[in-house]
């Protein structure tokens, strides 16, 4: 049986409140999550020798998370990923968001769900965070009540996202953890073997907005249906890295999404989700300037993200899966991160 413990992680400046850390522990995993941004700060996983390493990038203290940093471990919203030119229409009315990643809006805006204090509630095998996003927050319409629940069962971390809206609004929630199965602080992820359960992907323009085409992966660098070793694959196809949405099965049921294996340690991460897409991102914008846990630095390609999500810019692309949540409906999606040793 697992355990959940809570402790103070730090104080927000100018009386902004206390950030707490929740430790979820099972016989196979140890997961630390803080109430600032519902952020996963550590995941300790044993290798095949039984040696535990922390496999997510992040910081030892609250100051690290409060600085400008690329969403390490955080829940992002109200709308994850990019919205073209920061504008969209709902029922004929136009809304304008901050262009925090010129010329687009990214991950909910200047102060998204990753940069707020959530209210925690301890569960027997996890922790639930909640908050109310007020009408007009970051330019989005309507009040949104949100619940994010982390539960640990053996080697599986489950993340459930629920939301209810007072008026129609786009909603797309994900977790932005950066993984390195060799252990955080390892210089790159080139020796990771990746499999992605996707027959199609979304090509993007130079600002990383989907062009609207849903392209087959067959015969392209995006065909990851059979395992590829990441470093060699990037080299073979002359790729700077991945930062693309892979299109998954359209069902609302739990489906297999991706598998990443690190041969040297034996660690395997499998991701399952109810979402229609996943952003596979290989840390292309990391540049070694941030100082992480245990003195680690995080250069380009030193971590990967599997951000389960609706497709980027869906609010502006009618043939993408629907992204609007209306009053009386409930947004309810779950993603499972399953760790094992092979």
Sign of CA dihedral 191, 193, 196, 201: positive
Using DSSP bridges, classify how beta strands 255-262 and 156-165 pair: parallel, antiparallel or unpaired: unpaired
Instruction: Express the helix, strand and coil content of the chain in percent, nearest 5 each.
Output: 10, 45, 45
* Contact in structure between 106 and 124 (CB atoms under 8 Å): no
Determine whether the annotation assigns residue 176 to a binding site.
yes
**Distance from first CA to last CA of the chain, Å, rounded?**
23
Question: Considering all CA atoms of the chain, what is the largest pairwise distance in Å, rounded to the nearest integer?
Answer: 59
Spatial distance between the Cα atoms of 219 and 221, rounded to a whole number of angstroms: 7
Q: Tell me if 243 is assigned to a ligand binding site.
A: yes
DSSP class of 1:
-
Cα angle value 307/277/55 (rounded, 5°)? 25
- From the number of C-beta atoms within 10 Å of its C-beta (0-12, 13-18, 19+), residue 298 rates as buried
Q: Cα separation of 285 and 302, whole Å? A: 10
What is the token pair recorded at 260? 């990443």
For residue 331, say whether it is annotated as part of any ligand binding site.
no
Is 27 annotated as contributing to ligand binding? no
Residues with active-site annotation: 176, 307
In whole angstroms, give the CA distance from residue 285 to residue 299. 9
Return binding residues for beta-D-galactose. 81-82, 176-178, 243
List the binding residues. Answer: 81-82, 176-178, 243
């Amino acid at each position: 049986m697992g355990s959940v413990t809570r402790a103070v992680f730090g104080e927000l400046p100018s009386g902004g409140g206390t950030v707490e850390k929740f430790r979820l522990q099972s016989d196979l995993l140890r997961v630390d999550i803080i109430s600032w941004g519902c952020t996963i700060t550590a995941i300790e996983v044993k290798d095949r020798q039984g040696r535990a390493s922390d496999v997510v990038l992040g910081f030892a203290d609250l100051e690290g998370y409060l600085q400008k940093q690329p969403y390490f471990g955080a829940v992002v919203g109200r709308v994850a990923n990019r919205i073209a030119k920061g504008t969209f229409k709902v029922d004929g009315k136009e809304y304008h968001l901050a262009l925090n990643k010129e010329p687009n809006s990214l991950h909910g805006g200047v102060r998204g769900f990753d940069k707020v204090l959530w209210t925690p509630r301890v569960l027997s095998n996890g922790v639930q965070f909640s908050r109310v996003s007020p009408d007009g927050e970051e330019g989005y319409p309507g009040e949104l009540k949100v619940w994010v629940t982390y539960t640990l069962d053996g080697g599986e971390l489950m993340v459930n996202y629920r939301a209810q809206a007072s008026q129609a609004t786009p909603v797309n929630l994900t977790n932005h953890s950066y993984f390195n199965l060799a252990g955080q602080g390892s210089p790159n992820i080139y020796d990771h073997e990746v499999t992605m359960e996707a027959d199609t992907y979304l090509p993007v323009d130079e600002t990383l907005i989907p062009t609207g085409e849903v392209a087959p992966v067959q015969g392209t660098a995006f065909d990851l249906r059979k395992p590829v070793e990441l470093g060699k694959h990037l080299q073979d196809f002359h790729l700077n890295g991945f930062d693309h949405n892979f299109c998954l099965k359209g069902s609302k049921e739990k489906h297999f999404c991706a598998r990443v294996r690190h041969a040297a340690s034996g660690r395997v991460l499998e991701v399952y989700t109810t979402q229609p897409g996943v952003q596979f991102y290989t840390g292309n914008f990391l540049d070694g300037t941030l100082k992480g846990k245990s003195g680690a630095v995080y250069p380009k390609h030193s971590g990967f993200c599997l951000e389960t999500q609706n497709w980027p810019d869906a609010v502006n692309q009618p043939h993408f899966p629907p992204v609007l949540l209306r009053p009386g409906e409930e947004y309810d999606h779950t993603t499972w991160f399953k760790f094992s040793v092979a």
